[in-house]
């Protein structure tokens, strides 16, 4: 039996809430990370310099529709503000797989619980609610911070696709692939939950 097709939904944690991304989130998102070269360094678009430019990125992200990808605004519960976004993409219920990616956070929440809790919410939903058998990630081969964060989740590094994607600056990136299987999730969930409990 195939996995369920994900639909836009709200996923609530202790520190953050994931809610369907809309253009209404743009002002808060721009305040969190608009114009910040380091925030956007590894993403597939040029750094948005204005709210209008960020709105265009959001419109492009949402244009694919929920059958292809579902974007979530990451809302900090303490402030009520959107501090980044993350996405389910490459959704294939028949193959029981999806990808987590197109993720960024404003600097204010780097090295906080935001990313770990977002991944806990997304992985729990994917494996336990939707019945996915595989969740994957891909990242730039030069982005060691992202690779380390993915590995800390318990994901396995699978390999590298060479000259895989054209960067906004015209150079070519190799993409490093990671995955986690449903059988690996309980152990990974226990570690991630423990890490969040310890702060």
- Condensed to tens digits (0 to 9), the pLDDT of residues 100-135 reads 999 999 999 998 999 999 999 999 999 999 999 999
Q: What average pLDDT does range 43-72 have in this prediction?
A: 94
Residues 18/85, Cβ–Cβ less than 8 Å: no
CB atoms within 10 A of CB 98: 25
Cβ neighbours, 10 Å, residue 102:
16
Give the DSSP H or E segment for 64. Answer: none
Nearest by Cα to 43 from 51, 34, 184, 17? 34
Which superfamily does 11-197 belong to?
Gcn5-related N-acetyltransferase (GNAT) (3.40.630.30)
Give the closest residue to 18 by CA, choosing from 8, 32, 30, 33.
8
* Residue 67 confidence (pLDDT) above 90: no
3-class DSSP assignment, residue 191: helix
pTM to 2 decimal places: 0.95
pLDDT in tens, 133-176: 999 999 999 999 999 999 999 999 999 999 999 999 999 999 99
Domain residues of the chain, as ranges?
Answer: 11-197
């Amino acid at each position: 039996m195939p996995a369920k097709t994900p639909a836009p939904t709200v996923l609530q944690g202790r520190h953050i809430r994931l809610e369907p991304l809309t253009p209404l989130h743009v002002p808060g998102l721009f305040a969190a990370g608009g114009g910040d070269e380091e925030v956007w360094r590894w993403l597939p678009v040029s750094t948005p310099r204005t709210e209008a430019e960020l709105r265009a990125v959001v419109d492009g992200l949402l244009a694919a529709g929920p059958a292809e990808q579902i974007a979530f605004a990451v809302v900090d519960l303490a402030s009520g503000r959107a501090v980044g976004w993350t996405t389910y993409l490459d959704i294939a219920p028949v193959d029981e797989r999806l990808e987590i990616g197109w993720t960024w956070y404003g600097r204010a929440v780097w090295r906080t619980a935001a990313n770990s809790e977002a991944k806990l919410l997304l992985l729990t939903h994917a494996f336990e609610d939707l019945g996915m058998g595989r969740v994957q990630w891909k990242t730039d081969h030069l982005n060691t911070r992202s690779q380390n964060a993915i590995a800390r989740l318990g994901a396995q590094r699978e390999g590298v696709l060479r000259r895989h994607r054209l960067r906004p600056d015209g150079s070519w990136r190799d993409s490093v692939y990671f995955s986690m299987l449903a059988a690996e999730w309980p152990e990974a969930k226990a570690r991630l939950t423990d890490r969040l409990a310890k702060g």
